[in-house]
Amino acid sequence: MANEHNLVPMNQRTESERREIGKAGGIASGKSRRRTQSMKAIAKRILAMPAPEDITAELMQRGFEREECTLQLLMVVKCAQKASDGDLKALQFLNSLITDDPRDKLYAKRLKLMEAAQSNPIQKLVDDWVNAVLSTDDPE
């Protein structure tokens, strides 16, 4: 990297510098999380909107109730049509809707462990020690 000499490892920074960097990262993380939650809420509202009337009539002919005829239902129906035409991605998406993917559970478990490690001061000490040992072993 061209500017590697400008980078200062966290274990070589003062406690106040580390605190400031951590605080700035926490603030940025909170903003990003709120923005993502806001986008999710908007997407949920859009998907809950009623389907256009002509499509609602067609869906009702297929046995759905008027209250069920939302954009979300329309998307699933269209996806099912594509899957029946041989679209593998559509089939995989439909399958992911109706089955529990074990990778999702593993990801959630890993995320919980990472969050617990961040709030654990002993883990922070271990991480700092490992980073210090790794940085002194550089064969420069």
Number of Cβ atoms within 10 Å of the Cβ of 74: 19
Can you give the pLDDT at residue 48?
94
Average pLDDT rounded to a whole number, residues 7-26: 84
Average pLDDT rounded to a whole number, residues 50-78: 94
Going by pLDDT thresholds of 50, 70 and 90, the confidence category of residue 18 is confident
Q: Which residues of 51-62 are buried (b: 16+ CB within 10 A; e: fewer)?
A: beeebbeebeee
Q: How far is CA 15 from CA 7, 11, 18, 136, in A?
A: 17, 9, 5, 20
What mean pLDDT is reported for the chain?
84
pLDDT: is 65 or 128 the higher one? 65
Burial (0-12, 13-18, 19+ Cβ within 10 Å), 116: exposed
Sequence spans of domains, the chain: 41-99, 100-135
